Chains A and B, each alone.
Chain A
């Protein structure tokens, strides 16, 4: 073909554009972890014992639940949804794991079974969202209420039974000097990150979240990634529930309540858009760890709860201001120059 190639003549206005999504996300991730570390170091002023490896270990253990939940929450948010049912799903996971422990069969049957049940409920959320066009917010809130009261009725208020040994081992055990949960967190984060950022599935999640119509036209069967996201979210919550059971060796109803807002917060502080299509799990992990660290440091402050809470809120806002997109972008451009 002989027609000229004008596009070759068009200079791209500036090659800094090449530093696309990837770098800005790495920067914000780095920034978050930096904040967390600064907090830990700063906490030395609160108490000399803080800032020790021991504290880091504690933080990781306490953050592990949040990290697992936040992964699922992050996926749902990525596809443009929101999962308010996770609190109940955590409880469900814990309750089933304890009440069925022993009676249901060996653990290698029990645990997958519980995860499967949770995943199915998550899938139901997706059905409502996709085909009944129910806003994710209301759908997951409703299913959350339903599951919660079902659990309440099923246990008539008192969950019985003890944690599966596998989770006792996970939460209490240790490999040499390193606690098992730390290893687990590392592995989980790697796998989860890979799933979201390096697989075809992950790519479709981003596409669907960024522009569902376009994804559909491009030939993506949009319902699959969406349903998968909700199912994974529910399963993650269930798993976290079992971890909590392993940690405290017993389940209670409402054991998940304290994880709903933090799960959303860690995703959003991690720079993901609440509207979907943008975000990286690495940053979410950063968010989760930042929040947990904040908790430990705050609770070590010698002042009354009111002021502590005020400071906690203030620090969250501060972190958000520091991690603002345009600031990150400016950093990026500078680094690109």
Chain B
């Protein structure tokens, strides 16, 4: 990068909370018009850096310059005014306000006598939505939007203030297709903006970014040009050691001979209809679909979290009525569910990791209703080893753990229940490469030991690598079913978008 004055220049910034060191001597430099990736495992300090750049927290030491000027925002608004806008990973939209209001926070357009004008707000909102090709009603309550819609809105809001530096933290976590986002990014960079792009999906990064800066344990390891860095080297920088990523296809055994453990017959519900499939013992049945194709409702319905309008579910051949997760656990060989949203549906931040893991079976650790700390820890340790969760974390509050380890703990909880049927909804959302490996391994060994898995993933490679068979849902229906051999990204993508029925059928 030649002498052009950099859009953003961060020099040896450090930040620590109490005794916890989050960032130490981190430096990063963005050129105007470039898309710069920020890589690192969960807990490497990416989020902290984002917070500092966007003015949420102040660094303890370190210098920041923007276009040559010293840059030290004392609030988000200030940062925005100086031209730094952020789309946060934990979406920063206010649920009980409308799309339009959210787009104009914190200052809404004023009408006569300095009062907020609803009409103007709506107009402004509509304009923004139009400009960024978002087909939402400006009056819709954010609470009513799907996760993906919210993510788009979050991104749009960041773009809307035409920043000189744009920070996108995990912008695709909830998006299955990225064209829309990438187009926007390219437009912005073409206009000379610098983009700091944070994602765990390396293929996205390679597609979009020119350079990448890698963080590890709160330190900046270095910056590399992406075209001359192999995945291997990048992983090495991230996890500190060569990262052999081997994913062989599971030998698609003659699954059909194994007994069926979960049979769905003509299920219909909130946003899906006429869903039928059979999950067999030791099988990993993949579910592929763009977001909002009804898969979420389907999964929730299978553990009784959402109502079933019609259809029948058989577990171990017996007709069952699943009225709630607690019932599902006790049904047949047991059904456990790994939910979509870790923070809101998964963890109990204030409780220790061990307690989080054993909660479903808390009654079983100890006697006479009294919990034995020892038994609890043993049980937790046992199942956390299955998901390769370091046992030292067991005593921490789970809230203090990195997202990846939280996810491992939640998977451990699902296995802890002893259920032999797991419904995993996007188990690797927003977790780092290493953790993904551990989770894959855990899922496989679970299946090999006779467990059955229904697996939805927003990342196709996962399905390609893990699934024995794969269902493709589209518009709330099963659009295609492909046996292990046929699963590859090309056919999947085709099916996902609802095209080329005949090809997949063939």
Contacts and interface: CB of A to CB of B under 8 A. Distances in A.
Judge A-B direct contact (beta carbons within 8 Å): yes
Interface of A: 1-14, 16-18, 20-21, 194, 198-204, 206-207, 210-211, 213-221, 277-278, 329-330, 333, 336-337
B352 interface: yes
Given A199-B369, A200-B365, A218-B360, 10 more contacts: A3-B441, A6-B432, A10-B44, A16-B18, A20-B400, A21-B352, A199-B370, A206-B350, A206-B351, A213-B344
B243 A6 contact: yes
Interface in B205-251: 217-218, 239-246
Interface of B: 18-22, 41, 43-44, 217-218, 239-246, 303, 305, 324-326, 328-329, 336-337, 339, 344-352, 355, 359-360, 362-363, 365-366, 369-371, 388-390, 392-393, 395-397, 400, 402, 404-405, 408, 413, 417, 432-435, 437-438, 440-441, 444-445
A7 B370 contact: no
A334 B336 CA distance: 41
A75 B43 CA distance: 35
Nearest to B351: A206
Contact of A214 (B43, B347, B355): B347
Given A216-B324, A217-B325, A336-B19, A7 B351 contact: no
A198 B371 CA distance: 6
26 contacts: A1-B444, A4-B434, A6-B239, A6-B432, A6-B435, A7-B390, A7-B435, A10-B405, A13-B43, A17-B397, A18-B396, A20-B396, A198-B370, A200-B366, A200-B369, A200-B370, A201-B369, A203-B351, A204-B359, A210-B351, A214-B345, A216-B324, A217-B345, A217-B346, A218-B360, A333-B19
A334 to B, nearest CB: 9
B396 A17 contact: yes
Contact of A4 (B18, B22, B239, B346): B239
A333 B18 contact: yes
Nearest to B24: A13
B19 A7 contact: no
A10 B438 CA distance: 14
Contacts of A214: 339, 344-348
A5 to B, nearest CB: 6
A8 B344 CA distance: 27
B49 to A, nearest CB: 14
Contact of A3 (B21, B244, B371): B244
Given A2-B244, A16-B20, A277 B350 contact: yes
Contact of A203 (B19, B218, B362): B362
B139 to A, nearest CB: 26
Contacts, number: 167
A151 to B, nearest CB: 34
Contacts of B438: 3, 5-7
A194 B328 CA distance: 30
B18 A10 contact: no
A17 B244 CA distance: 31
B19 A14 contact: yes
Given A6-B243, A198-B370, A278-B350, A12 B344 contact: no
B17 to A, nearest CB: 9
Contact of A218 (B43, B44, B217, B325): B325
Contact of B390 (A8, A20, A207): A8
A277 B363 CA distance: 19
Contacts of B347: 211, 214
Contact of B440 (A3, A7, A14): A3
A277 B348 CA distance: 9
A210 to B, nearest CB: 4
Given A3-B440, A221-B326, A16 B19 contact: yes
B20 A17 contact: yes
A75 to B, nearest CB: 15
A214 to B, nearest CB: 5
B21 A13 contact: yes
B218 A13 contact: yes
B200 to A, nearest CB: 12
Contacts of A217: 303, 305, 325, 337, 339, 345-346
